[in-house]
Structure formats: structure tokens, C-alpha cells
Chains A and B, each alone.
Chain A
Amino acid sequence: QSLLTQPPSVSGAPGQRVTISCTGSSSNIGAGYDVHWYQQLPGTAPKLLIYGNSNRPSGVPDRFSGSKSGTSASLAITGLQAEDEADYYCQSYDSSLSGSVFGGGTKLTVL
């Protein structure tokens, strides 16, 4: 059981907006540590999608956005495309572990 909780799956039709939540605690997100998001396409390595809660690396479409509030964070994807079908992971630092922690991952299905 990860210290960061994500829904196992979300789905949406092409063009729609979906959000993926990441719920932590006072030892990670709630302590003020940044949240990062990764996208893992089937059979490939994870790719950095959002860093520092809401920043996009160069090359990531602005359809992807991140936010953080209290002990939770969210990833929003607008204008869903078939190519967005992937697993998404949130990540932060946890002071009780003195290390990195990933969420359990959310599988996005584009209907």
C-alpha cells in the first residue's frame, strides 16, 4: 500500500477532460514537498510529465496540467486523445521514509 493514493483507473471519451487525484499525508504532500507526475505508455519507461506540482517540461502539451492543495494533488488532462492512454504516477518525498514515494498508479483508458 503506497503512501500516495491514486484511483486505479479513470476513463474518458476523446476530447473530454479527466482528472487523476493523488492523496498523501502530513509526511509528504502535506509537509510541503513537491509533487511530480509521470506518464508510462505501454511497454515503455516512465516519462516526466509535470514537475514541481504544476510545471511542464519542454515538449509536454499544455493539455496536461497539475495542481496541489493541502495533502493532495491532481493531474488534469483536457482534450483527451487516444495517445494519452497510459499509466500515470504521482511522486513526492516522504519524511517518514526519508526517501521518494510513488503513488500506486492510475490507468487511463480513452473510450
Chain B
Amino acid sequence: EVQLVESGGGLVQPGGSLRLSCAVSGFTFSSYWMHWVRQAPGKGLVWVSRINSDGSSTSYADSVKGRFTISRDNAKNTLYLQMNSLRAEDTAVYYCARVPDYGDYVLLDYWGQGILVTVSS
């Protein structure tokens, strides 16, 4: 069974940092591209970042470029999102999601349950 479990969320002050993790199981992690998507309270889905299967290629939304870094450890079956210089507008539930081996590389077939990040003083 495919599982994605996010962790590392919580309350952080503006300007602070946080690292999210997404532990996966049930599939060969090293073969799949991965994404982070966020959802502010009561709002819609917003794409954040993606990484290819070996970590050599990454892409970011303009709103987080230069502040967030996506990475992965294929030996640990874990995806990461390092978030620096956090702002109130980064408050959201963050989801990790998998790109399947069919379709284009923005398609997401499995999602984690999400983890809440709150940026507030």
C-alpha cells in the first residue's frame, strides 16, 4: 500500500525556519518525481515545488523561490522541504504528493494527509 506521511509542521515566528519531511512507503521512492502542494486555511490548492527522481532537478513557485528548498534522501525514502524566511502568508497545510509513471510530470496520484504550518508571532 502506498503511503506518504508528512511531519515537521507547527507554529513558527515570522522570519523563522522549518523543515518538513515526507516519509514514503509501498513503492520504489527513488523512481518517482515528487511535489509539495500547499493549501491556506479555507483556500485552494497551490503548487509549491517539485523534484525529479534522483534530486538533480528542482522547480519552485515564484512565491517561495529563494526561501524554500526541496530535497530528497532516496536511501531513507524521505522527501524534504526546507522553509526559511517564513512569512504569515506561508501559513497552510502542506501536502507531499507523488508523480505516477504515466501521464505528465505535474500529475499527482498519491497524496499525504497534510501537515499544518502556522507562521505567527
Taking Cβ atoms with an 8 Å cutoff, the residues of A that contact B are: 2, 33-34, 36, 38, 40, 44-48, 51-52, 57, 87, 89, 91-93, 97-105
Residue in A34, A45, A57, A100 whose CB lies within 8 Å of B109: A57
Q: A34-B103, A52-B103 given as contacts; is B59 within 8 A of A99 (CB)?
A: yes
Q: Complex Cα distance A93/B103, Å?
A: 12
Closest residue on chain B to residue A34 by CB atoms: B104
User: Is B45 touching A45 in the complex (CB atoms < 8 A)?
Assistant: no
Taking Cβ atoms with an 8 Å cutoff, the residues of B that contact A are: 35, 37, 44-47, 50, 59-62, 95, 102-109, 111-114
User: Is B103 touching A102 in the complex (CB atoms < 8 A)?
Assistant: no
User: Is A46 touching B111 in the complex (CB atoms < 8 A)?
Assistant: yes
Closest residue on chain A to residue B35 by CB atoms: A100
User: Is A48 touching B104 in the complex (CB atoms < 8 A)?
Assistant: no
Residue in B37, B44, B103, B113 whose CB lies within 8 Å of A2: B44
Q: A102-B44, A104-B44, A105-B44 given as contacts; is B62 within 8 A of A48 (CB)?
A: no
B23 to chain A, nearest CB (A): 15
Q: Which residues of A contact B45 (CB under 8 A)?
A: 38, 40, 46, 89, 91, 102, 105
Q: Which residues of B contact A38 (CB under 8 A)?
A: 45, 108
User: Is B111 touching A47 in the complex (CB atoms < 8 A)?
Assistant: yes
User: Is B111 touching A45 in the complex (CB atoms < 8 A)?
Assistant: yes
Q: A101-B47, A102-B46, A105-B45 given as contacts; is B104 within 8 A of A33 (CB)?
A: yes
User: Is A45 touching B114 in the complex (CB atoms < 8 A)?
Assistant: yes
